[in-house]
Amino acid sequence: MGLLLGLLVTLAAVVSASWYVVRQMSGLRALQSDLADRNRKDSLQLLRIQNDLNSLGLAMRDMLDAEGRYPLEAWTTQFDRIRRDLDSALPLEDQLAVASRTPDQRRFLATSVTQFWDAADRIFVLARAGQTAEARAQVRLSLQARQESLAAAVSRLLVENYTSDEQTAARTASIYDQIQRQVFAFLSATFVVILLTGLYLIRSNRRILADVLALSSERRELVQRLITTREATLQQVSRELHDEFGQILTAMGAMLGRAGAHAPEGSRLRADLREICEIAQSTLDKVRSLSQALHPSLLAELGLDSTIDWYLPSVERQYGATLSYQRTGAAWPIDPTAGVHIYRVLQEALQNMVRHSGANRADVRLRYTDDALELEVEDRGRGLGADSRRGLGIVGMRERAELVSGTLTLSTPAGGGTCVSLRVPRNRLEMHGE
């Protein structure tokens, strides 16, 4: 009778433990598949909205920088295109938003965007009415502030999503801990039953861990595909700018030159044609510079060294920074596809220096060794805090390093600041057939 009661108690304990474990596993699977996947999709929509807001910021900056050369109405088409994309992205983001977001938070983004477009419409109405000065003043005083407020709100939502990811990971770890404690409790009751249960749990845990690793691998693959797609898009846009607009502007310059040659010497027409020709040449130079910034075609034509030689002076001119560049070792050919990732890491490191560190000087070192390429970007700014180390820019640099099997490290030099170091094996960088 005692054995039967013990067996019943043991069976009840095993059934209870099995029900508990199955329930926890189901919760873990739902937590990982539903919350994590929804959070990731929401973050992608927020990044899409952030990119549109950044495009608006650049457009407004160009509107103010181009004062006197182009009418404000010229930006109407670009604003309409961005508005359509935002109108498509905002409802999707609202559907994917995490449940913890309050109704006020949900309404704030859509309301703020609506207010922004109302202000933009009023500005374009003023511009079409000939009140250009007042319209430009409204861009400076109102529209830019609204855009910055929206960008800050989207950044906060991205940070909240990241925090939600961390909480999901913590809850996952908590579930694992509860399962482990349950297994140890049953080990003290009966070795045989707990051994069988433990074997079952180990097998189940291995499957769960394999699923987690698979999800992590899929996430990494997705990021890498996004990077590859982004580079392909930038390359296509760069080629269109260089080939289509460049050819058009070159033809315009040639036609203006021929027209000016037929105009009377010293005439007003000849002077105007010469001035227009200079404007066309200046625009051509800017288009070519933008084309190189979007996708450095120099990588394929002249290699990484020449691309860096071109890029660093452009950074100094654009941001007023002072860069010290040192290259050591015997250079060897680098595949352009792999070289673009080295270039993007350098680009992101210098942009972080300009935007976040507060420094205006940096040392750039490129070393060729027998078995690897080493890149270092060191500044004497404020350094990287814990949040900065998890920023999107740092994550992007790490992903690019992984694409070429490289190692990215962030350190603080003895004198303060930040040092970004990238080391990539030579066999992942050399030209095919070398």
Phi-psi region of 366 (alpha: psi -120 to 50; beta: other; left: phi over 0): beta
Please tell me the CATH superfamily of domain 298-428, with its number: Histidine kinase-like ATPase, C-terminal domain (3.30.565.10)
- Give the integer Cα–Cα distance in Å for 230 and 67: 32
Q: 11-189 and 298-428: same fold? A: no
The per-residue pLDDT for 373 is 92
User: How far is CA 316 from each of CA 97, 319, 322, 324, 345, rounded to the nearest angstrom?
Assistant: 41, 6, 6, 10, 17
The per-residue pLDDT for 194 is 61
The per-residue pLDDT for 434 is 38
Cβ atoms of residues 408 and 420 within 8 Å: yes
Please count the other Cβ atoms lying within 10 Å of the Cβ belonging to residue 320: 9
Tokens of 407: 């190692």
Would the pTM count as exceeding 0.85? no
The per-residue pLDDT for 423 is 92
Q: 407-411 and 418-425 as β-strands: parallel, antiparallel, unpaired?
A: antiparallel
Alpha helices in 241-359 (DSSP H): 246-262, 268-294, 298-301, 304-319, 336-352
Residue reference for tokens 């913890």: 100
In 84-154 the beta strands, taken as DSSP E runs, fall at none
Tokens of 382: 């404020």
The per-residue pLDDT for 2 is 45
CATH top-level class of 11-189: mainly alpha
Query: Which residues of the chain register pLDDT less than 50?
Result: 2-3, 432-434
- Give the integer Cα–Cα distance in Å for 394 and 388: 8
Cβ atoms of residues 403 and 230 within 8 Å: no
Q: Express each pLDDT in 227-269 by its tens digit.
A: 667 666 766 676 666 566 666 767 777 777 777 777 777 777 7
The per-residue pLDDT for 367 is 92
Cβ atoms of residues 285 and 322 within 8 Å: no
**Residue ranges per domain, the chain?**
11-189, 242-294, 298-428
What is the SS3 assignment for 3-51? HHHHHHHHHHHHHHHHHHHHHHHHHHHHHHHHHHHHHHHHHHHHHHHHH
